[in-house]
């Protein structure tokens, strides 16, 4: 069969499962804006509310978190006239294709997902079936737009690889070349920002400890306090990058500084070589405040007009649906559903 060449298209999403963190900004949002501004591929960005409810969410808080996340996208540089920006539940194709993919993905594949193991912990009998099936819905999020490039943080690599497996298996099972096999795009100095309390755990918006993360809505005092209290070791900054080996907390702060300043980690280490964290941390706090405060100010301004946010989301959903609907219909026809 001749290889179908798929038009390049970017898709990525963020869950409204809490407030945005510095990890979400550096690993995702900042790069979403840069990808949009390069302008070489259409960009589709989604607030994935259906993923958020795989863990119970207070309905009112979910409403607010969805609007606040939309504000966070816009404040971080996603322009709804250049990118399609919408919430997942407003486009039925995600759930429709998600079901087909539940029937394509194998139980064994899902059991290997490390995020599920991390999130379910010792409680795996009691978590929702949705949390387990989450990666099949994520595959639908991407493939319902025939997206080819998926900018994500390092933690989502395994899920994008599963999406590739699902696309390949669907194409093989039905003898078609219908779905593209998308690439994860994981770039930059901070593709895995770690918790400020534990350098072996990633920073997450759903972590119970607020001190573990910097929120995009934190004020200058909170940012300075969290960085000052961030766990480090007693050694000063090393002379070279290799000197960060075995020092996850130190490496994390260097990576954050690099990503925020647009320098490489090697440049940051060269600049602060031999200095104690007592002088590096205030410099990092100043830099973080400088980069994040315009975003948080813009987020609060946008949040004053929730009706406008809802209009933006509704318009984005219409645009997204126009792409998704014919792809879902064709997938249903391929599978053999009458009436599709």
Using CA atoms, how far apart are residues 210 and 195, in angstroms rounded to an integer? 10
Active-site hit among 202, 226, 229, 281: 202
Q: Considering the rule CB under 6 A, would residue 155 count as an interface residue with ligand ATP? A: yes
Strands, E assignment, the chain: 10-14, 43-47, 84-87, 149-151, 183-185
- Closest CB to ligand ATP among residues 100, 186: 186
Using CA atoms, how far apart are residues 27 and 151, in angstroms rounded to an integer? 8
Using CA atoms, how far apart are residues 31 and 10, in angstroms rounded to an integer? 12
Q: Considering the rule CB under 6 A, would residue 27 count as an interface residue with ligand ATP? A: yes
Treating both helix axes as pointing N-terminal to C-terminal, what angle do 129-143 and 157-173 enclose, rounded to 10 degrees? 70
Is 202 catalytic? The answer is yes
- Closest CB to ligand ATP among residues 24, 35: 24
- Closest CB to ligand ATP among residues 68, 334: 68
Tokens of 327: 């792809």
Give 6: exposed, middle or buried? Use CB within 10 Å, 0-12, 13-18, 19+: middle
Q: What phi and psi, each to the nearest 5 degrees, are found at residue 174?
A: -105, 5
Strands, E assignment, 176-229: 183-185
Q: Considering the rule CB under 6 A, would residue 205 count as an interface residue with ligand ATP? A: yes
Is 205 catalytic? The answer is yes
Q: Tokens 């998600």 sit at which residue?
A: 98
Select from 19, 33, 80, 153 the one that contacts ligand ATP (CB under 6 A): 153
Using CA atoms, how far apart are residues 139 and 129, in angstroms rounded to an integer? 16
Active-site hit among 30, 61, 205, 281: 205
Query: Is 202 annotated among the ligand-binding residues?
Result: yes
Cβ neighbours for 38, distance < 8 A, ≥ 6 positions apart: none
- Closest CB to ligand ATP among residues 185, 335: 185
Q: Considering the rule CB under 6 A, would residue 72 count as an interface residue with ligand ATP? A: no
Beta-bridge partner residues of 87: 47
Interface region with ligand ATP, contact rule CB under 6 A, candidates 34-42, 134-142, 188-196, 277-285: 188-196
Query: Is 124 annotated among the ligand-binding residues?
Result: no
Query: Is 155 annotated among the ligand-binding residues?
Result: yes
Q: Considering the rule CB under 6 A, would residue 47 count as an interface residue with ligand ATP? A: no
- Closest CB to ligand ATP among residues 146, 205: 205
Q: What phi and psi, each to the nearest 5 degrees, are found at residue 176?
A: -125, 170
> CA angle, 115 as apex, 112 and 119 as ends, to 5°?
120
Rounded least distance, CB 326 to ligand ATP, Å: 27
Interface region with ligand ATP, contact rule CB under 6 A, candidates 25-33, 106-114, 127-135, 302-310: 25-33
Strands 149-151 and 183-185: parallel
Query: Is 212 annotated among the ligand-binding residues?
Result: no
Rounded least distance, CB 313 to ligand ATP, Å: 17
Query: Is 76 annotated among the ligand-binding residues?
Result: no
Q: Considering the rule CB under 6 A, would residue 182 count as an interface residue with ligand ATP? A: no
Residues labelled catalytic: 119, 202, 205
Residue set of the binding site for ATP: 15-17, 23-24, 153-155, 193, 202-206
Task: Please give the residue ranges that form the binding site for ligand ATP (CB under 6 A).
Answer: 14-15, 17, 21, 23-24, 26-28, 152-153, 155-156, 191-193, 202-206
């Amino acid at each position: 069969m001749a290889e179908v060449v798929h038009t390049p298209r970017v898709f990525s999403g963020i869950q409204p499962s809490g407030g945005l963190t510095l990890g979400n900004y550096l690993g995702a949002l900042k790069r979403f804006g840069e990808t949009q501004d390069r302008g070489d591929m259409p960009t589709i960005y989604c607030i994935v509310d259906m993923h958020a409810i795989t863990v119970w969410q207070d309905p009112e808080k979910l409403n607010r978190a969805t609007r606040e996340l939309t504000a966070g996208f816009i404040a971080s540089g996603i322009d709804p006239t250049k990118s399609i920006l919408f919430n997942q539940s407003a486009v039925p194709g995600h759930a429709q294709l998600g079901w087909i993919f539940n029937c394509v993905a194998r139980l064994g594949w899902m059991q290997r997902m490390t995020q599920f193991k991390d999130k379910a912990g010792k409680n795996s009998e009691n978590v929702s079936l949705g949390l387990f099936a989450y990666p099949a819905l994520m595959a639908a999020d991407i493939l319902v737009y025939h997206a080819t490039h998926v900018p994500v943080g390092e933690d989502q690599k395994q899920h994008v690889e599963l999406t590739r497996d699902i696309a390949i298996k669907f194409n093989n099972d039905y003898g078609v070349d219908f779905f593209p096999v998308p690439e994860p795009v994981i770039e930059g100095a901070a593709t895995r920002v770690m918790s400020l309390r534990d350098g072996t755990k990633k920073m997450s918006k759903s972590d119970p400890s607020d001190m573990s993360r910097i929120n995009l809505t934190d004020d200058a005092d909170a940012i300075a306090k969290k960085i000052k209290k961030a766990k480090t070791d007693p050694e000063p900054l090393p002379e070279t990058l290799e000197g960060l080996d075995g020092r996850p907390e130190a490496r994390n702060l260097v990576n954050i500084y690099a990503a925020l300043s647009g320098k490489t980690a090697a440049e940051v280490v060269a600049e602060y070589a031999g200095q104690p964290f007592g002088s590096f941390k205030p410099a990092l706090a100043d830099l973080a405040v400088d980069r994040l405060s315009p975003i948080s100010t813009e987020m609060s301004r946008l949040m004053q007009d929730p009706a406008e946010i809802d209009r933006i989301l509704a318009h984005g959903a219409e645009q997204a649906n126009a792409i998704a609907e014919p792809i879902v219909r064709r997938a249903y026809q391929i599978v053999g559903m009458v009436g599709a």
